[in-house]
Structure formats: structure tokens, C-alpha cells
Amino acid sequence: MTSKVPEKYDVAIVGQGPAGCTLANVLGQYGLSTIILDREASAYHLPRAVAFDDEVMRVFQSLDLDDQVNAISEVGGDAHFVDENDELLVTWSRPQRLSPNNWYYNYRFHQPELEDVLREGFLRFGCVTARWGCEVTRYETGTDEVVVHYLDKDRNESSQLRASYVVGCDGARSFTRQSMDSDYEDLDFAEDWLVVDLLAKIPEDDADPGTYHFCDPARSGSRVFVGRSRKRWELRLNPGDDPLEITKPDNIWKLLERWTNPDQATLERAAIYTFRSAIAEKWHSGRLFIAGDAAHLTPPFMGQGMCAGIRDAANLGWKLARVVNGDAPASILDSYESERKPHVRAFIEMTVKMGRLINRTASTLLTGAPVEDDNGPPTITRIMPTLGDGLSAGNPNWRGHLFPQPRLANSDLLDDRLGNRPALIVSPGFMSDLPANVREKAEARNVAIIHEACEELTAWFTQAQTGAVLLRPDRYILGSADTQEELEALIEAA
């Protein structure tokens, strides 16, 4: 009797949340045979994450899903920290205008709708397969592949598949992380909070797009703008609160009575969450990787938890494609953890500081120190961490910085011109005529060349004081060049 040979894929993704679905879209664009599994029978229909930023919208743009995401999103505004007397302590500025990424700084959304967009997105690609109700039970790792053993709950039978690489996007209880023997490093924030989601009975067309953090010793909390039709409050549990009692509707409406009442909104859900800050000790073991909440946990005060997972997918996806397609050695995959881990740690540490300000266990934000404004309250601006040590070429100045997305001379957005290719961006004043060998090597390596004048590019190069940069497919800078030799080194590394 002949035994059945398991199916074989380039990549198996475990978990159909935002990080996993984003990664499936990235791999689908590159034509990698991909399967994405989820232990649940269907998608979760209630709210969770509610915010993402301009860099994440740029990732959606790279997947050609920006129109669909725009249709289900609303632009958010500033975050205000107020004391128990509603006196403003500090404002986190998120202006409602386009950022250097040419998207708004802050967006609000309903996570089930976003996940629908992402799933419909990866189903465009015939190389991507999705399965629900499949719980991974064991990984059998080998030199060339991983055998994934899973329980098909619909059929109540065990099955298996083979994959060159596995990426666990399987949440805080990640089986993949446990299989890698990777514990969480505790980053010193763990608190129980009540999260309340409401549906407005009448959409508020003039709703305040700001978020308000109540730094009240009696009960700290946040009122979060989600959109015209949805409302969210997050309230810290105090000592002595009974989690079963506090989630009862009558008690919830008492907690919210200063802001709203049952005549204005319907209770969609109330749940107790432990807001945690943690980061996995290792993100990569052999052919196993983790991403999203499997790799890091971020309290929600900056709206960066889901964003971090999507950045993971954007960083790892193009590297997996290069390796699977034979365009790069497997060693480039080592840079995934070394680049992403310090980046996400910077966001987590800032988020924890925000949490301590909300709880009044800290009086100021120590990072992004407030700037005094004679015409208003002190403000803090966004943090823009660079990638950790990793891939580099040419001059290391500007390596690891996200390059802005200008409109080019013909009004195209930069990323729309580039697609998912690496790109050499050359200052018009650097070389009036690029050497023929540089152009030939760029063409042979499918590297786009942008060598034209536009106001935003000219301003960036003037400020950066460099001649050219090589962009990776995720639009982070691989390196810069100020000489022809450095320029040739960039192309060799593309």
C-alpha cells in the first residue's frame, strides 16, 4: 500500500489575523506557493485593534489594497492626556494632513472589515490557499523543509503538509513560539483593563476624531475614536473590582455615564483584557519564524500592536521570496529578527511610558519630551525608530531609515512607480548621467532607477546630504552613496 505524500508549499503561515493575512498577500505577489491555516472555524467578528498609521497604509498600498482599506477607514486625530479635572497635560500630535509617506498619520477601522479586505486580497493569487479549523499539533523540522502536523477539525482527522518555511502568526499563545522554545521577555507592564465597544444609534458626522486619555488616580482610562458609528472606552480595573460584576451592562453604563448612555448607543461587547508588554526571546529557529503577537505584545495606548505585526510581514515577506526564488542566500533571513526586534522594542517602551502617564505613575513622557507651545498645551511628536542591525550596503549613513514617499514629477506616488522592486533613488545633482554599467546592472537585477527632480525628493536629498540611496522592497534604505564606487556597491547588493 502506498502512503499519501503530504502537500508541499514554499511557505506555511499559521494564523489568519492581520499579520498572517498581510504576509500571505506579500508572498502571493511574489508567486510563492503559500498555505495559511487557522485553528478557528471562521473569522472573529468582534472589534479588537482599531488604529493603524501611515506606514502601515503604505504597506496596504504596496499590496494594491489601499482603495479597499480607505473605504472602511476614517482619519483619526490627536491624542490628549488630561488629568482628573479635565485639564490638559500634554497632546500627542497626529495632524489630519498627509505625512511624508503621503498618507494620513492615523487611521481608525473595524478589524473584522480589515481582515475581510486582506483575505479577499490574498485570494487574488492562485498560489495562496487558506484553510480554517486546522490546529497545528507538531512541527517536524528537517534540513530542507518542515513537516506540519495538524488536526483538521471539520473532518476530525490528523493530516500534514510540507513547507520550506513556516511563519507562526498565531497570537500570544503561539504554538509556534513554544515549539521554538522561545519565552517572552517581560517588559514590565501587565494590567487588567475593561474594554467596552459601543455602536452609536445615530452616526455622528461631526464626531471628535481625537482620543482622550484620562490620567485620573480614581480610575484611569481612555476614550478612543473609532469612527462615526463606533465608540470605545478602555478603563483600568481597580483593586477590588470583580471582573464578572464590572462587565454587566448596568455597571458598564454607570462607568460611562459622564460620556454616553443607552439612549445614544448600543453595547456591542465588554471584555477584560490584560494589557501586556513583552517580546519573544527569539523570533527565528531554523525554518520556523514568528511574527505579530506571537513575537511581541504591546499595550494599546499608541495603537501600534497590529502595526508592528504588519511591519513584521513586510520585512520578512520579501526576504523569504528572495531566498525561495534563489535570488539570495538563506542567511539574509537572520536579519529579520535583528532588524525588527529593536524597532518594535522602541514602540513598546514608549507605549509603556504612555501607560504610566495615564496611570499617574509617571508625570512626564521621558521619550519624545514635550515641546512647550506658547499658543497651546505641550505636545509630543511621533517616534520614528530605525531598523536594528541587519542588511547593509554602500555607505551605512541612512541605513535602516524608512524613505518617504513623494509624488514624482508626473504626479505618480513613488511606490506605485516602483511596484515591489528594489529601487535606486538618485539625487538630480549627484550624477547628470549615470554610468552605463550601473544602468545595466540595475536592469539585470530588476532594480528601478528614479533619477528625476521633484520638490519632495530634492528637499530630502538636501537635508540628508547624500547622493543616492538604494531602497529595499519594504522601502527602508539599504545604504547610500556619495561616490561612484559606493553607487556600484549598492547595485551589487541589490
Q: Which long-range contacts (CB under 8 A, 24 or more apart) does 233-241 make?
A: 233/194, 233/195, 233/196, 233/198, 233/259, 234/193, 234/194, 234/195, 234/196, 234/300, 235/193, 235/194, 235/196, 236/191, 236/192, 236/193, 236/194, 236/358, 236/359, 237/191, 237/192, 237/193, 237/194, 237/272
Q: In terms of C-beta density within 10 A (0-12 exposed, 13-18 middle, 19 or more buried), how is residue 463 classed?
A: exposed
Question: Are 199 and 265 contacting, i.e. CB atoms less than 8 angstroms apart?
Answer: yes
Answer whether residue 30 is part of any domain. Answer: yes
Q: Can you give the CATH number for the domain in which 450 is found?
A: 3.40.30.120
- In DSSP terms, 168 is beta-bridged to 14, 290
Residues of the chain with pLDDT under 70: 1-5, 361-377
Q: Which of 124, 109, 104, 92 is nearest to 28 (CA)?
A: 124
Cell 549615470 -> residue = 434
Residues 20 and 121 in one domain: yes
Residues 150 and 46 in one domain: yes
Q: Which of 316, 272, 270 is nearest to 292 (CA)?
A: 316
The beta strand positions in 292-349, using DSSP E, are 296-297
Domain count, the chain: 2
Range of the structural domain that residue 154 is part of? 7-74+103-185+278-349
Answer whether residue 304 is part of any domain. Answer: yes
Residues 338 and 421 in one domain: no
CA angle, 24 then 57 then 112, to 5°: 60
How far apart CA 442 and CA 426 sit, in angstroms, is 13
Q: Which pLDDT score is estimated for 366?
A: 41
How far apart CA 245 and CA 262 sit, in angstroms, is 18
How far apart CA 53 and CA 487 sit, in angstroms, is 32
pTM over 0.85: yes
| Identity at 154, one-letter amino acid code | D
Query: Which of 326, 349, 372 delimits the end of a domain?
Result: 349
Answer whether residue 223 is part of any domain. Answer: no
| DSSP string for residues in 4-18 | PPPEEEEEEEE--SH
How far apart CA 269 and CA 142 sit, in angstroms, is 45
Answer whether residue 294 is part of any domain. Answer: yes
| DSSP string for residues in 200-212 | ESS--TT----EE
Answer whether residue 114 is part of any domain. Answer: yes
Answer whether residue 301 is part of any domain. Answer: yes
How far apart CA 103 and CA 32 sit, in angstroms, is 29
Residues 338 and 436 in one domain: no
Question: Are 273 and 300 contacting, i.e. CB atoms less than 8 angstroms apart?
Answer: no
Cell numbers standing for residue 461: 536629498
Q: Which pLDDT score is estimated for 375?
A: 59
Residues 344 and 423 in one domain: no
Residues 181 and 308 in one domain: yes
Residues 22 and 148 in one domain: yes
Query: Which of 349, 372, 399 delimits the end of a domain?
Result: 349
Residues 431 and 315 in one domain: no
Q: Can you give the CATH number for the domain in which 128 is found?
A: 3.50.50.60
Question: Are 16 and 171 contacting, i.e. CB atoms less than 8 angstroms apart?
Answer: no
Q: Which of 374, 457, 443 is nearest to 412 (CA)?
A: 457
Answer whether residue 172 is part of any domain. Answer: yes
Query: Which of 296, 330, 349 delimits the end of a domain?
Result: 349
Q: Which pLDDT score is estimated for 2?
A: 41
- In DSSP terms, 169 is beta-bridged to none
Q: Which pLDDT score is estimated for 370?
A: 46
Q: Which pLDDT score is estimated for 1?
A: 38
Q: Which of 111, 86, 346 is nearest to 221 (CA)?
A: 86
Count the Cβ atoms, other than its own, within 10 Å of residue 239.
Answer: 4
Over the Cα atoms of the chain, what is R_g? 24
Answer whether residue 94 is part of any domain. Answer: no
Tally the residues of the chain.
Answer: 494
Residues 344 and 476 in one domain: no
Residues 304 and 432 in one domain: no
Residues 27 and 149 in one domain: yes
- Return the axis-axis angle of helices 436-444 and 484-493, rounded to nearest 10°: 10
pLDDT in tens, 187-220: 999 999 999 999 999 998 888 999 999 999 899 9
Residues 171 and 25 in one domain: yes
How far apart CA 441 and CA 430 sit, in angstroms, is 19
Count the Cβ atoms, other than its own, within 10 Å of residue 210.
Answer: 18
SS (H, E, C) 259-300: CCCCCCEEEEEEEEEEEEEEEECCCEECCEEECHHHCEECCH
pLDDT in tens, 394-420: 999 999 999 999 999 899 999 999 999
Q: Are strands 265-280 and 184-200 parallel, antiparallel or unpaired?
A: antiparallel
How far apart CA 250 and CA 19 sit, in angstroms, is 36
